[in-house]
Structure 1
Amino acid sequence: MATKTDTDATHILQADHREVEGLFSKYEKSSGIDRKREIAQTICNELKIHTMIEEEIFYPALKGKIEESLLKEAYVEHDDAKVLVNEIAEGSPNEDFYDAKVSVLKEQIEHHVREEEKMQDNMFQQARAADVDLNALGEQLLARKKELKAQAETSGLPPAKATTF
């Protein structure tokens, strides 16, 4: 029996957040260079895809409908995370600062998630209150996410590209 896919954009993005949180937890519990590398690469790919769909689709749809400062901060936070994502993706768990980079990335993502979905008057609450069709937006997010996942599996994703610097 087929189940209906939840197409609410905020629910899709929240699910991505939970998935990455779980991956960070797996990384912290893992040992061995190969296992750590595998989990870290998955984290990097998931974050590349997530930031791309937010920046290409979600954030532009919210422009002028939510607090501008929230959007600007989100782009800057993404760019900070992208620097670490690229360093982790290109590095190796046997490097001196690799685990520290993964740990700092986790902290950055936790902060970013708090601002998007957990703080009072957060981005997702403002999006729900705005005149935005979250289901149509969610369908766009899912379609783009599917494309990017296929690219990640076949040819790989390019390094994350900064928007604000």
Structure 2
Amino acid sequence: MPSSQRQKDVCDLLDADHKAVKKMFSDFESLSKSKARNAAQLRMDLARKICTELTVHAQVEEEIFYPALREAIKETDLIAEAEVEHQTAKDLIAQIESADTADESFDAKVTVLGEYIDHHVKEERNEMFPKARAVKKLDLVAMRAEVEARKQELLDELLAAA
């Protein structure tokens, strides 16, 4: 069934996150070339927004999507690899979030994070999502609602802590 005729599932939701963050990385790259006086502050603000989005996205994948998929498929090496990629991304995110200034090193970390996320997204989009959709016992439409609700909880918690 073409994607326009099937219900949106958790893979669609996660991929929408991927696209939104890719746009933010593109905006960051444009800002890094900007000569505006406030460009450094704008880059820091955008980088922190990217980090928040990626942190929430990774957490819902780790709490909901990956465990369900791990139970449903035989080849779990792809999930293990994704979890290691998440940990490496979290390390970079921590470095970005603790930065005081948007200097050359800061920009490099955000750029590398973007490249890293691109690689991770390609694997999810091309390998993990098709495997998830092939498993009939996974209710990916219901999982979408669960992931959406959890994402909102996490974003609310982060906003309350800020």
Equivalences for 1:54-65 in 2 at 5 Å? 54-65=61-72
* Root mean square deviation of aligned Cα: 1.3
Q: Which residue of 2 aligns with 1:140?
A: 146
Q: Which protein has the larger Cα radius of gyration, Structure 1 or Structure 2?
A: 2
- What is the number of residues matched between the two proteins? 148
Give TM-score scaled by structure 2 length. Answer: 0.87
- Is the counterpart of residue 70 in structure 1 residue 78 in structure 2? yes
Q: Aligned equivalents of 1:148 and 1:109: distance in 2? A: 20
Q: Could you tell me which amino acid in structure 2 is paired with residue 139 of structure 1?
A: A
- Is the counterpart of residue 150 in structure 1 residue 151 in structure 2? no
Equivalences for 1:75-154 in 2 at 5 Å? 75-118=83-126, 122-130=127-135, 131-154=137-160
Q: Aligned equivalents of 1:15 and 1:94: distance in 2? A: 28
- Which runs of 5 or more structure 1 residues have no equivalent in the other structure? 1-5, 157-165
What do residues 118-143 of structure 1 show as CA deviations (whole Å, max 9, x unaligned)? 3xxx1000000012000111111001
Runs of 4+ in 1 over 4 A off after TM superposition: none
* Conserved 8 A contact 2:43-2:102: no
Equivalences for 1:28-39 in 2 at 5 Å? 28-30=29-31, 31=34, 32-39=39-46
User: In proportion to residue count, which structure has more helix?
Assistant: 2
Give TM-score scaled by structure 1 length. Answer: 0.85
Percent identical residues: 43
